């Protein structure tokens, strides 16, 4: 039979035995060393024994468990019962280890591990890290001999590497067949579904499923980038251990995703006393000590009540994941599944996929254009391009909705490119027809990079449009973020000749020192202040003061949200240069713009008012 050897990190002498840190408190929670089996391991060991001529082979996991073979055969129960620290060092390292003669090497000089196959202590030792097909490091394959060696040849090293690779492949196969995760040794999601079905088939009316998300995906990936997979693996084991301390006895914990655990709870009155859930969140929010480095995670605990009929054709893990995701954003840290919230998220996901398709087919997306008039002359001097989406079944999707979806889904680059291509092509047509107007485009913060400069220049050159006919609008908050980098990109845009507008001014937190350094040409006062001018003296004072300040700083001032004649007359008396709003014109389709321009005789102007006086 196979003998399992376990030890603590500080163990040196043979014969001393400690239990290594476990993932859970009892065998019911986790696969133990005794039931660990790698398909084909025996055959790999026999090949390695013959090719390297070594009598003793061991697979040592980074948890401290070890599996011994002597002369290609399973080691009897009276074999080695302890490990030297070098074995753990090898098992937890991604480097190979070679000790040609232990008697002249401080790392093994005190080791006295008698071999069943022959007399004397270990003199020769070599190891190769064992990793799964996905690159997860699980331990080391070790070979030993009571005879010292002068060298380990390249062919022998290659044979040891190949054997370690085969073992890693076998671990993956064993995990698949045994339905356990190779890192935590917890049963994975296939076992979870089987057990949940059995639970609901035993006459139980419903079950409570709990899911624990360790951290948002981006944050967990940041752990791996900074510290490596070994650190992330240790973190998962530590989170599993704390969760297992909390779950009721006889309750199995499953690893159902790369960063997610789940369990089926027997408590039918879980929400009657929520202090238990608060306790779990508090446990998980305490810092974890992983490989000597403390770390605080952002856990989310989700809960789902499910019955047998809902399980048929359903996916409880998707539903409870919805709750755990919401919990990560919640101060309380736990949340119960909300069907309405889930439907909203599913709808948003479907909209995102359909938006991506619409960007390749112009039949759904379109552009409308809203005029801006010069207050000195009353004439239209520019048009702002505004994206519109007419969904074939849902109708018109509000721009604020689908633009926000594009931001979250990483589609803003494509959406901005689509708007630039179509609006600048349209501007070229209007210029050829004799309309001397400029075009204003809204640009997202995610597009404000060096690539934007080249994209803008290429589209303008292709349609033979001078860049001085274009203005890019950025929100106030965008321009105030990362000011040094932002200024560099904005300066490059200005050097091309395009104008830059600060949009929605007044809704952010502008630093005036940073504002005056921005190479912007115009400032658009947010419509929320302008619309309130008719009823709020405070809003009118804000617009008047901001307009005067912006004019003094050299900006061209544009007021948005001019929806009544009284507001229009008010801004005529302020330090404003342009106006935009429903009182002047609603956004219109491109085909309607020429007729509007031809019929537009001009708005009341500042010059006309002065002349009449």
Q: Residue 270: pLDDT above 90?
A: no
Most confident of 31-40, 147-156, 479-488, 604-613: 147-156
pTM (2 decimals)?
0.59
Please identify, in words, the CATH class of the domain defined by 365-387+410-612. alpha beta
Map tokens 């991604």 to a residue.
94
Contact, 578 vs 382, CB < 8 A?
yes
Q: What is the pLDDT of residue 112?
A: 46
Q: Is-contact 37 123, C-beta < 8 A?
A: no
The fold of the 189-337 domain, in CATH, is Alpha-Beta Plaits (3.30.70)
Whether the predicted pLDDT of 134 surpasses 50: yes
Both tokens of 334, joined, read: 């736990």
Give me the residue label for tokens 């960007």: 359
**Mean pLDDT (whole number) for 434-451:** 89
**How much is the pLDDT for 206?**
82
**Residues 490/519, Cβ–Cβ less than 8 Å:** yes
Residue entry with tokens 């002249």: 104
Q: What pLDDT is stored for residue 19 in this prediction?
A: 30
Instruction: Over range 375-392, report the average pLDDT.
Output: 93
Of 178, 168, 170, the residue nearest 31 (C-alpha): 178
Identify whether the C-beta of residue 137 lies closer than 8 Å to the C-beta of residue 94: yes
* C-alpha of 85 from chain center: 38
pLDDT band for position 301 (cuts 50, 70, 90): very high
pLDDT higher than threshold 80 for residue 26: no
75-84, 442-451, 521-530, 587-596: segment of lowest average pLDDT? 75-84
Backbone phi and psi for residue 54, each to the nearest 5 degrees, phi listed first: -110, 145
Q: Sketch the domain layout of the chain as residue ranges.
A: 4-178, 189-337, 365-387+410-612
Point out the least confidently predicted range of 37-46, 189-198, 252-261.
37-46
Output DSSP code: residue 76: P
In this predicted model, which residue has the larger pLDDT, 509 or 217?
A: 217
pLDDT, one tens digit per residue, over 476-499 is: 777 766 567 778 888 899 999 999
The pLDDT of 313-338, averaged and rounded, is 88
Strand-pairing partners, residue 411, are none
CA 110/CA 102 separation, integer angstroms: 9
pLDDT tens for each residue of 211-245: 999 988 778 888 888 888 888 888 999 999 999 99
- Nearest alpha carbon to residue 478 among 460, 500, 497: 500
Q: Are 563 and 583 in contact (CB under 8 A)?
A: yes
Residue 20 has pLDDT above 50, yes or no: no
Confidence of residue 450 (pLDDT cuts 50, 70, 90): confident
**Helix residue ranges, H only, 37-134:** 41-52, 85-91
**Residues 66 and 40 sit within 8 Å (Cβ to Cβ):** no
- pLDDT at residue 35 in the model: 42
Strand-pair partners of 137? 131
Taking the CA atoms of the chain, what radius of gyration do you get in angstroms? 35
pLDDT, tens digit, for every residue of 574-613? 999 999 999 999 999 999 999 999 998 788 887 665 544 4
For 423-488, give the DSSP string.
Answer: HHHHHHHHHHTT---EEEEE--GGG-SHHHHHHHHHHHHHTT--GGGEEEEEEHHHHHSSHHHHHH
Instruction: Give me the percent of the chain exceeding a pLDDT of 70.
Output: 84
Q: How many helices (H) and strands (E) does the chain have?
A: 21, 24
pLDDT digits (tens, 9 = 90+) for 77-111: 444 445 678 888 888 888 999 999 888 877 665 55
Q: How confident is the model at residue 21 (pLDDT cuts 50, 70, 90)?
A: very low
User: Which pLDDT value is given to residue 200?
Assistant: 81
Measured in degrees and rounded to the nearest 5, phi and psi for residue 164 equal -65, -40
Supply the pLDDT for residue 224.
82
Mean pLDDT of the region 299-308: 89
Residue 600 to residues 203, 258, 379, 418, 569: CA-CA distances in angstroms?
A: 76, 62, 8, 29, 18
Give the CA distances from residue 372 to residues 50, 340, 573, 584, in Å, rounded to whole numbers and listed in that order. 85, 41, 17, 8
Q: Is the pLDDT of residue 6 over 60?
A: no
Fold of 4-178: Beta-Lactamase (3.30.450)
How does the average pLDDT of the chain come out, rounded? 81
The confidence score (pLDDT) of residue 610 equals 54
Instruction: Report yes or no: 181 and 255 within 8 Å, Cβ to Cβ.
Output: yes
């Amino acid at each position: 039979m196979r003998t399992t050897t376990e030890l603590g990190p500080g163990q040196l002498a043979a014969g001393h035995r400690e239990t290594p840190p476990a993932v859970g408190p009892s065998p019911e929670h986790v696969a133990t060393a005794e039931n660990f089996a790698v398909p084909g391991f025996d055959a790999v060991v026999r090949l390695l024994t013959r090719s390297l001529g070594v009598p003793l082979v061991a697979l040592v996991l980074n948890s401290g468990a070890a599996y011994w073979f002597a002369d290609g055969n399973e080691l009897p129960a009276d074999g080695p019962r302890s490990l030297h620290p070098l074995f753990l060092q090898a098992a937890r390292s991604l480097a190979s280890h070679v000790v040609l003669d232990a008697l002249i090497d401080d790392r093994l000089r005190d080791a006295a591990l008698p071999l069943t196959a022959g007399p004397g202590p270990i003199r020769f030792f070599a190891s190769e890290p064992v990793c799964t097909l996905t690159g997860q490091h699980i331990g080391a394959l070790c070979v030993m001999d009571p005879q010292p060696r002068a060298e380990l040849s390249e062919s022998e090293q290659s044979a040891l590497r190949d054997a370690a690779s085969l073992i890693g492949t076998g671990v993956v196969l064993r995990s698949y067949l045994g339905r356990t995760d190779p890192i935590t040794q917890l049963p994975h999601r296939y076992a979870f579904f089987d057990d949940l079905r059995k639970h609901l088939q035993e006459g139980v009316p419903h079950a409570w499923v709990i899911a624990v998300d360790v951290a948002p995906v981006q944050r967990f990936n940041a752990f791996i980038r900074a510290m490596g997979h070994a650190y992330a693996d240790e973190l998962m084991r530590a989170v599993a251990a704390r969760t297992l301390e909390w779950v009721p006895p006889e309750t199995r914990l499953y690893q159902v995703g790369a960063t997610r655990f789940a369990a089926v709870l027997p408590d039918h009155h879980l929400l009657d006393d929520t202090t238990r859930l608060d306790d779990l969140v508090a446990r998980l929010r305490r810092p974890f000590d992983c490989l000597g480095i403390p770390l605080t995670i952002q856990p989310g605990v989700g809960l789902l009540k499910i019955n047998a009929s809902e399980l048929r054709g359903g996916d409880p893990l998707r539903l409870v994941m919805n709750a755990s995701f919401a919990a990560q954003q919640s101060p309380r840290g736990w949340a119960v599944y909300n069907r309405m919230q889930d439907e909203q998220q599913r709808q948003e996901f479907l909209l995102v996929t359909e938006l991506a398709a619409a960007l390749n087919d112009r039949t759904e997306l379109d552009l409308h254009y809203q005029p801006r008039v010069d207050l000195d002359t009353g004439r239209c001097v520019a048009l702002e391009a505004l994206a519109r989406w007419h969904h074939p079944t849902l109708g018109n999707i509000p721009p604020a909705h689908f633009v926000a979806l594009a931001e979250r889904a990483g589609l803003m680059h494509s959406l901005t490119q689509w708007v630039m291509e179509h609006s600048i092509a349209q501007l070229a047509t209007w210029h050829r027809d004799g309309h001397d107007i400029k075009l204003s485009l809204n640009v997202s913060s995610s597009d404000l990079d060096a690539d934007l400069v080249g994209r803008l220049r290429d589209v303008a050159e292709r349609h033979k449009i001078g860049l001085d006919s274009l203005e890019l609008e950025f929100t106030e908050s965008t321009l105030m973020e990362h000011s040094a980098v932002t200024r560099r990109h904005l300066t490059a845009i200005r050097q091309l000749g395009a104008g830059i507008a600060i949009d929605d001014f007044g809704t952010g937190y502008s630093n005036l020192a940073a504002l005056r350094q921005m190479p912007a040409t115009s400032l658009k006062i947010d419509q929320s202040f302008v619309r309130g001018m008719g009823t709020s003296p405070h809003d009118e004072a804000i617009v008047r003061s901001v307009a005067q300040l912006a004019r003094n700083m050299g900006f061209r001032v544009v007021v948005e949200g001019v929806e009544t004649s009284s507001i229009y007359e008010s801004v005529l008396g302020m330090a404003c240069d342009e106006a935009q709003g429903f009182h002047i014109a609603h956004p219109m389709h491109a085909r309607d713009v020429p007729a509007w321009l031809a019929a537009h005789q001009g708005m009341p102007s500042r010059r006309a008012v002065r002349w009449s006086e």
